[in-house]
Amino acid sequence: MSMWWTTKKVALVFPCLIALGAGLGCSDGAANNGTGGAGGTPSTGGMGGTGGTENVGGSGGTGGVPVDTMTDPKNCGAIDNVCAPGQTCAGGMCTCGASSVAFSAVQVILTAKCATGGCHSGAAPKSSLDLSSASAYAALVDVPAKQCADGRMRVKPGDPSNSYIIDKALNVDKCSGNRMPPSVALPLDSVQTISDWICGGAMP
C-alpha cells in the first residue's frame, strides 16, 4: 500500500473521530445535523439540530435535551413560552394557582416602586399611566397597552401571562421601552404578588 493512500485514509477518518467524541454522528467524515450518520447513533449529550431530538409534546429540542411542553412552565405549549410567576403548566397551558391576593397588596408595590418621584404619578405621569392609589386600578385593568399593537391589556384578569404589566416587570416580550421599574428590577416575590392578584381575577 502506498504512503499516499495511508495518509489520505487517516485524513478522512480523523475528523470523524473528533465528531464522534463530541457526540455527533459521522458519515464519511461529515457530522450530520444532530443525528447519527449512515449507520451511526448520536451519543448521550449529542447536539440536537433543528427539529432534532423530538420532545415529549412533539416539539424540536435544543441541545438534544428533551423538553416536555405539556408541563414545563418555561416551555408551556411551545418552546420559550414562559408562564408568569405563580402559574403552572398543565396540558400545555399556563394555569393559575389557588393563591388569592387583594389589590391593596398590589397597590403597596405600585406606590413604592412606580408612583414615586413623579414617574407614574402627578399631573403628567409617564406614558399617561397614573399608578397612584386613586388611579391605578382604573388605569390598569382591561386597559389596552398603548405601546402594543396586538391588543394586549395592561392587566387581563385571570391571565397574567398575557398582562403587559408582567412582561414589563420581567423584561420579556416588550412592545417598546425599558423594563419597569427601570433602575432596579422588581423583586420576584413582588412580581408574583401582582401575578397572583391577576390570576385571582384582578379584583378591586
User: Which spans in 22-135 are helix H?
Assistant: 103-113
> Where do the domains of the chain lie?
1-47, 103-199
Sign of CA dihedral 179, 196, 77, 142: negative
Instruction: Report how far residue 150's alpha carbon sits from residue 127's, in angstroms, rounded to the nearest whole number.
Output: 18
Kindly report, residue by residue over 19-48, the tens digit of the pLDDT: 333 333 333 333 333 333 334 333 333 343
Who contacts 92 (Cβ-Cβ below 8 Å, separation ≥6)? 57, 69, 70, 76, 77
Instruction: Report how far residue 126's alpha carbon sits from residue 101's, in angstroms, rounded to the nearest whole number.
Output: 27
Instruction: Report how far residue 142's alpha carbon sits from residue 148's, in angstroms, rounded to the nearest whole number.
Output: 14
Kindly report, residue by residue over 163-181, the tens digit of the pLDDT: 999 999 999 999 998 999 9
Q: Looking up cell 399617561, which residue turns up?
A: 128
Kindly report, residue by residue over 115-174, the tens digit of the pLDDT: 987 799 988 899 899 999 999 999 999 999 999 999 999 999 999 999 999 999 999 999
Q: Which three cell numbers stand for residue 189?
A: 416575590
pTM for this predicted structure: 0.65
Q: What is the pLDDT of residue 39?
A: 40
Taking alpha carbons only, the member of 173, 117, 125 closest to residue 147 is 173
Q: Which three cell numbers stand for residue 157?
A: 384578569
